[in-house]
Structure 1
Amino acid sequence: MRLVSVAAVAANGVIGDDGAVPWPPLPADVEQYRARVADAPVVLGRRTFDSMREDLPGTHQIVVSRRLETLTEPTAVVAADAEEALALASERASDDVAYVLGGATIYELFQPFVDEMALSHVDGQYDGDARYPSWDPDEWTVAAETAYEGFTVREWHRTTRPDRPG
């Protein structure tokens, strides 16, 4: 299974501020993001999941949480850690791909296991309390790039296969 991290990231690494994005709305980014993850399982933290309950992304939501045990949404399951989340994603990935959707702690937790990153590089720098994790540029290459008004989507591929638990 390919594991792909998907995020919108300002030029200074900020991805959020107090649970929201700090830049003006980018409808084209939301559209391309939703289309990308529509047919795959997604891995996300509880707060990110809660913020999306009205319009859940992906076919299955794997919520990483040490506090929750079950969820009422029929497409959602709880995973206690990265190993369990990766196993659940692998079981549910019909196209052999799963996506990591955040927040910041989840991105950091899964960064060592990610094969690809689909990052919307938002124009400008913004203040915020959440950042995308840093990565070694020597381990990554840009495989594709698409410019939009206000942001550019870059698809990064890891040059070496990551080690995964299990």
Structure 2
Amino acid sequence: MTTELVAVAAVAENGVIGRDGELPWPSIPADKRQYRERIASHPVILGRRTFDSMRDDLPGSAQIVLSRSESEFGGDSAYHAGGVDDALDIAESLGADRAYVIGGADIYDLFQPTVDRMVLSRVPGEYDGDTAFPEWDAADWALVHSAEYDAFTLEEWVRGSD
């Protein structure tokens, strides 16, 4: 079985996804809701800082935490991964048909060459930030769905076949 890898992010027009570990725009409840519902029953792949910032309300059915150092995360649903292949192996060992890559910026960057799909919440406006979603070549991707909401547009991109 191959696990489908999906990157999920909220991205401003200038590519910004965060500032000081937080979203740089006002809260968008409809986006948070669709995001949480989408990832709820699947493992998520995230970096250590992102994991630490979500400890009070862990996302997904399991958290595969990429970290250079092996450490205990507490809780039964967190797994340590040393790299991309390790994270994919863990997702497959959990019987997952899909895993979501949920950040931060370095994790998105690391997984960008291997993700099969991207679900991007496009937030209108440009924001100051210290983290951005990685650049990607639109020629390699097909926009398969787009839906307008009050404060964002939800886009689904699928990697094209070569």
Quickly name the TM-score band, shorter chain normalised.
over 0.9
Structure 2 residue matching 1:98: 3-state secondary structure: strand
Structure 1 residue matching 2:139: 3-state secondary structure: helix
Tell me, in whole angstroms, the C-alpha distance in 1 between the residues paired with 2:79 and 2:148: 35
| Contact 1:40/1:93, CA 8 A, preserved across alignment | no
Aligned residue number for residue 142 of structure 2: 141
Aligned residue number for residue 74 of structure 2: 72
TM superposition shift of 1:142: 0.8
Tell me, in whole angstroms, the C-alpha distance in 2 between the residues paired with 1:147 and 1:114: 24
TM-score w.r.t. structure 2 length? 0.96
Tell me, in whole angstroms, the C-alpha distance in 2 between the residues paired with 1:16 and 1:93: 31
Stretches of structure 1 that go unaligned for 5 or more consecutive residues are: 162-166
TM-score w.r.t. structure 1 length? 0.93
Q: Which of 56, 59, 63 is the matching residue for 1:57?
A: 59
Q: CA RMSD in A?
A: 1.0
Structure 1 residue matching 2:112: 3-state secondary structure: helix
Task: Report sequence identity in percent.
Answer: 53
| Contact 1:4/1:100, CA 8 A, preserved across alignment | yes
Stretches of structure 2 that go unaligned for 5 or more consecutive residues are: none
Aligned residue number for residue 12 of structure 1: 14
| Contact 1:118/1:155, CA 8 A, preserved across alignment | yes
Aligned residue number for residue 85 of structure 1: 87
Tell me, in whole angstroms, the C-alpha distance in 1 between the residues paired with 2:95 and 2:19: 31
| Displacement over 6 Å in runs of 4+ | none
1:131 aligns with 2:132: yes
List per-residue Cα deviations over 1:51-75 (Å, max 9, x = no partner): 1111111101000001232221100
Structure 1 residue matching 2:125: 3-state secondary structure: coil
List per-residue Cα deviations over 1:1-46 (Å, max 9, x = no partner): 1100000000000000110111011000100000000010000000
TM superposition shift of 1:93: 4.1
* Residue-pair matches, total: 160
